[in-house]
Structure 1
Amino acid sequence: MLEKMREGATGIFAKVVLGLVILSFVFAGVGSYINSGSEVPAAVVNGEEISSLTLERAYQNERGRMESQLGELFSQLAANPEYLSNFRQQILERLVSEELLDQFATESGMRVSDEDVKRAIIETPAFQLGGQFDNERFKLLIAQSGMQVNEFKELLRGDLTRRQLSDAVLASNFTLPSEAKSALRLQKQTRTARVVKVPASLFSDSIEINDEERNAYYSANITDFDTQEKVKVEYIELEASQLASEMEVTEQEIEDYYQSNQSRYRSDEQRRVSHILVELGDDEEASLENAQGLLDIARTGADFASLAKENSADTFSGENGGDLDWIEKGQMDPAFEEAAFSLAQVGDISDVVKSEFGFHIIKLTDLKEEQVKELEDVADEIRLAIKQEKAVERFYDIQTQVEELAFEVPDSLGEVAAVANVDVMTSALFSRDEAEGVLANPILLEQVFSENAIDEKINSDVLSLGDNHIVVVRVIEHSPRRTQALEEVKMLVDAALTQEKALEAAKDWANEVKHALVETGEAETLLASKELAWETHEAIIRASNEVDPEVRTALFKLSQDDKFDVVELAGGDVALVELQEIANPEQFDENEVKSTQQRLARQIGASSFQSMLEELKASADITYAKTAETN
């Protein structure tokens, strides 16, 4: 009930934790709920709007998650407008699916109780410290997300309802023990086989290639012989962090900084308090009387934590005996704060205090006095801060001069490098895929491979690659994409054709051996002519790494009536496979059978749930707005 009282709470830690919990909401399917309405719908599902703001926030949350996971790779993907458009559309489709499920759950009469919502909140790891629910953390994170506690509860209730629907569909499917045993029998089946590998290289020496074949291969695979577009550039790079070590700081500057930033080195008085909240309700006088009665009991020496747990309307702090953790001035409701900071000693209990949330009984449980760090204790920290500030100021001064010189002397970076006091770096020719280091930055790549940069070969504008990090670049050589002539790639074509024809020859020979085995049951003479021999593999399972994947796949397709196969291996060779024996287990552990029944039921349930969702979409009235341009 006190979520508004913390709305002013700020700080780096709170913001970092908030970012983490918002991502956890995304993973749990709740991230897209932290939204408010909008007049412009991104889609309308059976008359219910999905606002553009809902889509935008879900899109930004998911994009942030992808950036944190994939880093530079996602930046490269995001440089493609078509990719981002598809990315946004996928998120919208997810929101449409959620809305359809919400509607179906409502029509089916599904509802999640208050107790279930409370339990889900308490068990959410993002709201825990040391494995225990922390009410203060919960309220801070919810307030920082721009929501009220009750609003969050209702959105969470919707998510839990959808899960209830999903669980209902999954629970409606089952498999029989006989089905599980059949699945286990196939899963645990083993096979014994003989395998002979036939290297394609055995046939390479006999391969001949004529001009007609060479021309045909070149024409059919001509794009394989395209060169990549490449550029050679010169560039200068400057970061503010490079300048910090050059900055001088006087003792007077340190003193002045300390005096001007006293609040940074002073820890305000902090108080840890617990409270019991009685809501105002319809009868305020009765609520006050109730609060006064609880106060009288507390002052007789009764256990305050137990009273809070049993009687406080703030159920989340009540779970922790009414504890609100540490508070500072400026964080709480004014009336609450005045009472809390007027308590003289740990253990003191306030009179009944009225706020916009109800009547409070407040107990002081711990106290931290105001603390001030002395100058000598923070001098090194201040010196570093001043150096960084000066470095940034110097960086922006240099950046201004760099911008002017890069424009005034467009065909050289010499003067630009001199004013920045850095070297001009020169690259080798590189393609987009070969770029490394700073040259692999998507912003820089977009610039150097642009038509203007290649044609004009003049200095770029100052490119910002991050906080206080700039680059100026100039293309000095360009190698356009082109298709290499057949004469240039003749050796490559001949090598590819030789490999291709040798593989076909190996398959033909292996099939000849197979035919001999089928007809006569003997092929040792043929194998000996190539100095090849069988390898026996016993009790091969479906997940075995003992044989090549292609051999394993072929082996489990064979039968006693058709027990030979010739397969092409990933490495470019061939294998002849002979099935010799199939072993099926007949005895199964009871627990394993039950586990398999459950797994198969889940698989069937997942398929049923997807089919249900597809049917809901097919019968729904869904209207999509024109997709907004992504950024």
Structure 2
Amino acid sequence: SQLSPEVEQQLKQETLDGLVLNRAVLQFVHKAGFRVSAQRVADHIRSLKNFQVGGQFSKPAYDAALAANGASAAAFESEQRSLLEVNQLQDGIAGSAFFTPAEFRRIIALDQERRDLEYVLFDPKILGAAITPSDAEIQAYYATNSAQFQSEETVDLDYLEISLADAERDYVPDEAALRKAYDEDPTRFRSPEERHARHILITVGTDRSDAAAKALADEIEKKLADGADFAALAAQYSGDPGSAARGGDLGFAARGVYVEPFEKALFALKPGETSAPVKTEFGYHIIRLEAIKASEGQDFEQVREQLAASLREQKAQDSFYALAERLDDLALESPGSLEPAAREAGLQIRHYPGYTRAGGGPFGDNSDLISAVFSDAVLEGGENTPLIELDQGRVVVARVAQHKLPAARPLAEVRDEIVARLRSLRAATEAKTRGEAILKRQQTGEDLAAVLASMDLHLTRTGPVLRRSPLLPPELLSAVFRTPAPVDGKPVVRGVSLGDGSYAVFRLDRVIPGDPAQIPQDQRDAQKRILAQRSAQAELAALAADLRSKAKVVVAKDLFKAEDVTQ
């Protein structure tokens, strides 16, 4: 189930277009002077639930998540800074988006419009109960639509499977192994040292040169040396809005949270000491260390179960990957049979019948296995598949035991299915015929209610309904709101086919425009927020499109195949 060249090329182009658009927006954000402080980035990262344990930021969890995704802390923090800067732009646009009272009333009049109607429904399930297709009709339908009654292509598979879960159950570490694991990594079960810092940030920008910022930072350092209050100076001078109001307080943080020059200066201080101005990409920082939270550890007995689980997992992984590699080699050495591999690896050959090109059974819809099983080498050549990873910690090698091609299913097997189809088709036709006959009589001047009464039918009144009412089928609701409003109080009668084969005849009696005054204040406010968001999204999309159209883009010649891309 590989992608076609056309679809693959389209995905590549869409990805490239998205990258170009993001870069264009970021360039605009930077030129416009949007900036996010290091502390704002740190606060944002510490608030992400993926990096929290027990509701608190965990540096080990953060490091593990980055390692699992092959990302460095610097790259991830740069990405988050860019995200926050773009969010500033979005917030600015959202804050300036507006619409006039007349526009709001017009939107509410449409959005909250209600329509009062009555309708009658011709249900094919009811009509179909009286329909019995003849043998001749069944035979004719079967002959005409024989391609629809083919059995699915399937294969019966023999396979060998190994899993990490099975390997993990077989190992129980002894006391010596547990002690060794504890002693080999004494820092593993210790929390990192954390430092409580305050800072005053003097920013550099269009309104302040680097030299002016350094001079102001030196002046503040002198005031602190003369006994000035750090918190008061932070509130007065700091360019970090996230901490200035708190007297520059940054709270506790371990290594790896702040940019390198800031961290180096902070971890060189003793409690109560203040640094000289420290230059970073954000400007000049004056840092004060308030307190140190020492590293804390757990003793052996506290972590015994954790050690045992870790050793079991490591042993299982070693055994699993060694056996998987051996199984792959054995399957290739004897490509025409699984028996040698099963014998050498101590595994049992399993069997699964009825595997299709959509997958199935214990294998799910794994695309790698589907591609391998239905390849010429395996399907026609009788070879084993290579080792296939079904999901993390679970692999198989398979071969085709029997291949069953599509074939016509006998009429006796599909007769009930054909009867149901014919009954449904004829019932839907009958429903539409009856509904249109009623419409025709009404259009010639007969009263709709009287016409229905003559057929022992009656209209169902819903009362006024909104566009999103759950009381009516979607197709009927859509038709009702597309129908012109009654003129001079004269109802409008229409008909519509529904997705399930039903046919509805309805009479639209009146249209009631939405009135903002009838909507509770909290709902009006919510509606205004939604409209403002839509307006802001439209403005941001227009800005992004304009930036993209003006951007100079150079695409490397070898990025795509020559025949795949046109610029």
Cα pair 1:112 1:160 within 8 Å, conserved: no
| Alignment pair present for 1:307 and 2:233 | yes
- Alpha-carbon separation, structure 2, partners of 1:594 and 1:375: 58
Structure 2 counterpart SS, 1:478: strand
- Of 455, 468, 479, 1:554 maps to 479
- Alpha-carbon separation, structure 2, partners of 1:541 and 1:285: 63
**1:89 maps to which residue?**
13
**Cα deviation digits, residues 267-316 of structure 1 (max 9, x gap):** 5654434455779954999679636513423xx4x433333444557776
Alpha-carbon shift at residue 589 of structure 1 (Å): 0.7
Q: What is the RMSD computed on CA atoms of the aligned residues?
A: 5.3
Cα pair 1:270 1:328 within 8 Å, conserved: yes
User: Where does structure 2 lack aligned partners over 5 or more consecutive residues?
Assistant: 50-55, 204-208
- Alpha-carbon separation, structure 1, partners of 2:329 and 2:356: 30
- Of 345, 349, 352, 2:273 maps to 349
**1:454 maps to which residue?**
379
Alpha-carbon shift at residue 180 of structure 1 (Å): 2.6
- Of 75, 89, 109, 1:146 maps to 75
Structure 2 counterpart SS, 1:323: strand
Structure 1 counterpart SS, 2:463: strand
- Alpha-carbon separation, structure 2, partners of 1:534 and 1:263: 78
**Cα deviation digits, residues 242-275 of structure 1 (max 9, x gap):** 2223224332223333332223244565443445
Cα pair 2:153 2:405 within 8 Å, conserved: yes
- Alpha-carbon separation, structure 2, partners of 1:463 and 1:471: 5
- Alpha-carbon separation, structure 2, partners of 1:212 and 1:459: 48
Written as runs of structure 1 = structure 2, the 5 A alignment for 1:515-554 is 515-519=440-444, 521=446, 532-554=457-479
**Against the structure 1 CA distance between its residues 568 and 214, is the aligned structure 2 distance closer, same or farther, given a 3 Å change threshold?**
farther
**Cα deviation digits, residues 408-445 of structure 1 (max 9, x gap):** 44444345345545543321203233614434322222
Q: Please, what TM-score do these two structures have when normalized by structure 2?
A: 0.72
- Of 582, 586, 596, 2:510 maps to 582
Cα pair 1:180 1:600 within 8 Å, conserved: no
Q: Judge which range, 91-100 or 419-428, deviates more.
A: 91-100
Q: Judge which range, 263-272 or 251-260, deviates more.
A: 263-272
Matched to 2:560, the amino acid is: A
**Against the structure 1 CA distance between its residues 377 and 625, is the aligned structure 2 distance closer, same or farther, given a 3 Å change threshold?**
closer
Cα pair 2:378 2:385 within 8 Å, conserved: yes
Q: Judge which range, 566-575 or 444-453, deviates more.
A: 566-575
- Alpha-carbon separation, structure 1, partners of 2:238 and 2:538: 46
Structure 2 counterpart SS, 1:305: helix
- Of 305, 311, 323, 2:250 maps to 323
**2:176 maps to which residue?**
252
Written as runs of structure 1 = structure 2, the 5 A alignment for 1:180-579 is 180-181=105-106, 184=109, 187-199=112-124, 201-202=126-127, 205=130, 219=144, 224-267=148-191, 269-275=193-199, 282=211, 290=219, 293-297=222-226, 300=227, 302-311=228-237, 320=246, 321=248, 323=250, 325-327=252-254, 337=264, 340-341=267-268, 343=270, 346=271, 348-349=272-273, 352=276, 363-433=288-358, 435-481=360-406, 492-493=417-418, 495-519=420-444, 521=446, 532-556=457-481, 557=483, 560=486, 563-579=492-508
Alpha-carbon shift at residue 147 of structure 1 (Å): 7.9
- Alpha-carbon separation, structure 2, partners of 1:287 and 1:430: 74
Cα pair 2:117 2:506 within 8 Å, conserved: no
Structure 1 counterpart SS, 2:472: coil
Written as runs of structure 1 = structure 2, the 5 A alignment for 1:149-164 is 160=88
Cα pair 1:352 1:359 within 8 Å, conserved: no
**Against the structure 1 CA distance between its residues 314 and 191, is the aligned structure 2 distance closer, same or farther, given a 3 Å change threshold?**
closer
- Alpha-carbon separation, structure 1, partners of 2:386 and 2:275: 66
Q: Judge which range, 326-335 or 80-89, deviates more.
A: 326-335
- Alpha-carbon separation, structure 2, partners of 1:161 and 1:324: 28
Matched to 1:126, the amino acid is: H
**Against the structure 1 CA distance between its residues 497 and 196, is the aligned structure 2 distance closer, same or farther, given a 3 Å change threshold?**
closer
Alpha-carbon shift at residue 527 of structure 1 (Å): 5.4
Cα pair 1:460 1:472 within 8 Å, conserved: yes
Alpha-carbon shift at residue 507 of structure 1 (Å): 1.9
- Alpha-carbon separation, structure 1, partners of 2:215 and 2:550: 53
Cα pair 1:207 1:502 within 8 Å, conserved: no
User: Where does structure 1 lack aligned partners over 5 or more consecutive residues?
Assistant: 1-75
- Alpha-carbon separation, structure 2, partners of 1:377 and 1:593: 57
**2:53 maps to which residue?**
none
Alpha-carbon shift at residue 448 of structure 1 (Å): 1.6
Cα pair 1:198 1:574 within 8 Å, conserved: yes
**Cα deviation digits, residues 467-503 of structure 1 (max 9, x gap):** 4432111221222345668897566445434432332
- Alpha-carbon separation, structure 2, partners of 1:611 and 1:336: 41
- Alpha-carbon separation, structure 1, partners of 2:191 and 2:183: 15
